[in-house]
Amino acid sequence: MKKIVRQNLVEEYYNHFPLTDFFNFDITPYASVVQFESGEMIMQEGTAPAYLYYLINGRAKLLLSHDNGRMSLINFLNAPCFIGEMELIGAQNMSNGVTAITICTCYAININSSRNKILKDVKFLSHLCLFLGQKAIGNTYNYSRNQSYPLDVRLANFILLTAQNGHYREKHTESSEFLGVTYRHLLYVLADFVKRGILIKTNSGYYINDVTYLQKLANYETDVIKVT
């Protein structure tokens, strides 16, 4: 995590993404602007977070490890959104793992020094209720989409969400579990994408050779031939 200290840059973020709109009191003394590199851990799983983050720009993924050592991809976090709100309100004490997919810029609010004021702020709690409701609706939609659309459509969307600089490098075990398909079925569709020139296999994953096709496929365009 890198703290942004250039005053003009900090002021630019506050002007374009006014965090003060969420609170009845001045939150700025408790907040700073921070940045995470792609692949960097935003929240360490199993720890009590010291910050409530507000993702200004970028994408991240929520992960959960199991006793057997396996890691599950739970969800994607897209700006703008809060990170760590469940720990703030006490719904869970220890955080899940959150990793930046792209460069992520966040407000970091020190909850150790501001928790009492935040949890008594009606304006913030009202906004948080709306955020959590929209988040629940989004999760329901994503679950429904996973049940209703063929794998090539869901995989195209998944690749676009997780790719960084045109490269897709997600682990097949995590991807297949998130998409609700077998490992073998996932490899079959990936191989078909390579065969059709949509992806190019590399030593570290896949290069997106035809992003326009993936975007059309993810939007479920009827004029695109689907993989059965």
pLDDT in tens, 161-190: 889 889 999 989 889 988 889 999 999 999
Nearest alpha-carbon partner for 78 in 142, 152, 21: 142
Tens digits of per-residue pLDDT, 85-132? 999 998 888 888 999 999 999 999 999 999 999 999 999 999 999 999
Confidence of residue 158 (pLDDT cuts 50, 70, 90): very high
Nearest alpha-carbon partner for 23 in 102, 90, 79, 82: 82
Q: Mean pLDDT score of the chain, rounded to an integer? A: 88
Give the start-to-end residue ranges of the domains of the chain: 2-144, 149-218
For the chain, counts of helices (H) and of strands (E): 8, 12
Q: Pick the residue with more confidence: 71 or 211?
A: 211
What angle do helix axes 211-218 and 151-162 make, rounded to 10 degrees?
120
- How confident is the model at residue 222, as a pLDDT? 36
pTM, two decimals, is 0.81
Separation CA 217–CA 53 (nearest Å): 33
- How confident is the model at residue 145, as a pLDDT? 67
Nearest alpha-carbon partner for 27 in 38, 40, 14, 16: 14
Q: List CB contacts of 216: < 8 A, sequence separation 6 or more.
A: 223, 224
For the cut 60, the answer to whether the pLDDT of residue 154 exceeds it is: yes
Classify 2-144 by CATH class.
mainly beta
Domain 149-218 matching CATH 1.10.10.60: the answer reads no
Look up residue 228 and give its two tokens: 């059965």
